[in-house]
Amino acid sequence: MNWLINALTKLGLLNEDLDYHLIRASMVLLFLFFGYQKWFEYEAQVLIPYISNGPLISWMYPMFGIRGASWFLGVSEWSSAVLLFLGFWYKRLGILGALGSCGAFLGTVTIIPFMPDGWAASAGGFPAMAGNVPFLMKDVVLFAVSVYLLKQDVARVSASAPQTELVLDAAGLKVTR
């Protein structure tokens, strides 16, 4: 086992920020491809059971219609992709991209309990995923990845910012130190 650990170390697996950059790049690609799909009629139709049952996103159909909701999601996903990509250089923009990513996956994860026929009555005494729920379960991990990127970007911006302290003087005015 030690030879494997040594080999992986020599390959650069422990290089600083490799994981962070791979995760960011993966999310950029994911949002580019997800956003691309939203411009086609077939994807708008596939989304109907998801959006219709999403407690945080069901408002899109009354507001935009089926195609408009799909286009709205496409623009949102491409916006997240651009902001996450720019986050390689500008962490403040990365924070916005990660927030968009968190919102996107929070919206899809909350569909899971409300998806009709999403859970089989019993599989050995435990409810089993069925229908569209197994597809949505990947979004639990993608939400966690989004939170990781958000945390990393906030920490990096905070570490690079000058430390200031707000205090009140005798007159109750804020003074920055």
Q: Are 32 and 79 in contact (CB under 8 A)?
A: no
Tokens of 12: 């650069």
Contact 82, 74 (CB under 8 A): no
Residue 124, pLDDT score: 65
pLDDT in tens, 75-129: 999 999 999 999 999 999 999 999 999 999 999 999 999 998 888 766 666 778 8
Mean pLDDT in residue range 15-33: 93
Measured distance CA(6)–CA(27) in Å, rounded: 29
- Mean pLDDT throughout 146-165? 89
Map the chain to HEC letters. Answer: CHHHHHHHHHCCCCCCCHHHHHHHHHHHHHHHHHHHHCCCHHHHHHCHHHHHCCCCCCCHHHHHHHHHHHHHHHHHHHHHHHHHHHCCCCHHHHHHHHHHHHHHHHHHHCCHHHCCCCEEEEECCEEEECCCHHHHCHHHHHHHHHHHHHHHHHHHHHHHCCCCCEEECCCCCEEEC
pLDDT 10s digits, 137-154? 999 999 999 999 999 999
Per-residue pLDDT tens for 65-83? 999 999 999 999 999 999 9
Of residues 124 and 57, the one with the higher pLDDT is 57
